[in-house]
Amino acid sequence: MKGAGDTGGLPWDATRIPELCTRRAEWLRGEGQAADVVMSSRVRLARNLDGIRFMPRADRGEREKVLGLSKAAILDAGLSPRMLWVDLHETGKAERSLLVERQLISRPHARGKLSTGSGGVDEPRGVAVGLPSEQFSIMVNEEDHLRIQAMRSGLGLAEAWQHADGIDDELDRRLGYAFSDRFGYLTACPTNIGTGARFSVMLHLPALKMTSEIEKVRQAAQDMGLAVRGFYGEGSEAFGDFFQLSNQVTLGRSESELLRVMQREIVPKVVEYERRARDVLLSTRRRSTEDQVYRAVAMLRSARLLTVEEAMNGLSRARLGVQVGLVSDLDLDAMSWLVLRIQNAHLELAVKEANDPMARNGARADLVRTTLAAPGED
C-alpha cells in the first residue's frame, strides 16, 4: 500500500476534519453478511511499547515520547493511501467529538482522561485514520500506548481481524511491544492481557427491544463473558436500539478462538433472535408495530425540531419498517447515512448556523425531513 508521502506529501491534519462530514464511514455502508441486524464489525488490539511505563504510571515526558515514536512509525508504515493524523491535545472540542461520532476514537480519548481519573484535554495524545475508507484508526496514548482498530460493514470480523493483524505486525517491527512469553501482550488493564484483542459488533435490535427480550440478551451475554454497551461504547446509552456486543476477557484464549466464537456462534444466534422477534411482531402485534413505525416516519418527515435521541429512535423504527416490508418509499442507505449526519458535532461542523442546541435541533429536523421526503414532496 502507498504511504502518505506517496500521494502528495504531508498527511491530512485536524484542519481537514470537517471534510469528514461529507464522507460515508465504512461501517455505515449497510452491506455485508447479516447487514439487516449487524451494522458493523470491529477488531481492536491493545498494545504497549516495550521499555516505557504504561499509561497509568507514565509521566508526561514518557507519554510525549510514546506519541512521537508512534506518530513517526505510523506515518512511515504505508498503511493507507492517505492518512489523517490528529494531535488531539491541540484540537477543538467539536473536531474531537466528530471523531467519537465516527467511532474513530473513544470518549475518554477525546477528553484526555486517563484510567486513573487524572489528565485532561492537554494530555499528549493522537489518532491516525486510514483514508479514504476510514476502515482503521490507531489511538495513541488512550488507556494503552496504542489501540489499533479495524472496521467493516456487516458481520465481517474475519476481514477486520486480518486488517488489524497486518497493521499490528507493521508497527511491531518498527516499535517493539511489551510482551511476556507466559502472559502474552501486556496491557494497562488486566482484562486485556493475553491477545489484547476485542472483537465487537454494532447491532440494531429494535424487535428485541419492543418485545422486551433485550434484557435476556444482556443477561445471556454477561453469562458468556461478553459486554453489551450503547452506541458509543462503555458507559453510553443505546439510542436507536443500537447495541455494541464484545468479548471482555482475552487472557488464555487465542485470537482464532475469540474470532470463531463471535463470528460463527454468538453473533449468528443474536441475529436469529432479532429476526425471530421481528416475525413475532408482525404475526402477534402487527397493528401496534405498524403504529410505531408509521408514527416514526410521520415524525421524521414533518418535525421542525428534533433532538438526537428523537431522531435516532425515529430512524430505528423507520428502518425496522423498511426491513419487515411495512414501508416501501424510504431508502435504507439514506437512513444509515443519517445516523452519522444527525449527530451534534457533524451538524455543528457542517451547518454554520447550528451553533447552539435549539439551532442544531432545527438543522437536524431540516436535514432529516429533506432526506426522507416522500415522493412528490419538497
pLDDT in tens, 334-344: 999 999 999 99
At 236, the pLDDT band (50, 70, 90 cuts) reads: low
Looking at 23-32, 50-59, 256-265, 364-373, which range is the least confident one? 23-32
Q: State the pLDDT at residue 119.
A: 72
Please state the rounded mean pLDDT for residues 348-375.
91
Q: Which band of pLDDT confidence, cut at 50, 70 and 90, is reported for residue 1? A: very low
Task: Report the alpha-carbon distance of residue 304 to residue 244 in Å, rounded.
Answer: 31
Q: For the beta carbon of residue 328, count every other beta carbon within 10 angstroms.
A: 7
| Highest-scoring range by mean pLDDT, 225-239, 240-254, 293-307 | 293-307
Cα 196 to Cα 120: distance, rounded to the nearest angstrom: 25
pLDDT at residue 97, rounded to an integer:
96
Q: Which three cell numbers stand for residue 194?
A: 493475553
| Residue 234 reports pLDDT greater than 70 | no
Q: What is the widest separation between alpha-carbon atoms in the chain? A: 66
pTM (two decimals):
0.91
Q: What is the mean pLDDT of residues 199-221?
A: 91
How large is the angle between the packed helices 157-175 and 60-76, nearest 10 degrees?
A: 110
Task: Specify the residue for cell string 411495512.
Answer: 326
CB contact at 8 A, 305 and 362: yes
Q: Is the pLDDT of residue 232 over 80?
A: no
What is the reported pLDDT for 30? 84
The string of pLDDT tens digits covering residues 21-67 is 988 887 888 889 999 999 999 999 999 999 999 999 999 999 999 99
Sole residue written with cell 471523531: 99
In angstroms, the CA 323 to CA 319 distance is 6
Tell me 355's DSSP state.
Answer: -
Q: How far apart are CA 58 and CA 70, in angstroms?
A: 15
Specify the amino acid at residue 163: H
By the 10 Å C-beta count (0-12 exposed, 13-18 middle, 19+ buried), 69 is classed as middle
pLDDT at 38 (0 to 100): 96
Residue 229 confidence (pLDDT): 82
Phi, psi of 153 (to 5 degrees): -75, 145
pLDDT at 3: 38
Residue-wise burial string across 242-263, b where 16 or more C-beta atoms lie within 10 A, e elsewhere: bbbbbbebbeeeebeebbebbb
Nearest to 167 by CA among 351, 1, 374: 1
Cα separation, 246 vs 87, in Å, equals 28
Residues 254-275: what's their mean pLDDT?
Answer: 92
- Residue 277, C-alpha cell as written in the block: 422477534
List the one residue out of 63, 62, 84 whose CA is nearest residue 74. Answer: 84
Residue 9, all three cell numbers: 506529501
Q: Sketch out the chain's domains with CATH numbers.
A: 4-200 (3.30.590.10), 285-371 (no CATH)
- Greater confidence (315 vs 235) lies with 315
pLDDT digits (tens, 9 = 90+) for 87-143: 999 999 999 999 999 999 999 999 997 766 667 889 999 999 999 999 999 999 999
pLDDT for position 238: 60
Helix or strand run (H / E) with residue 244: strand 242-247
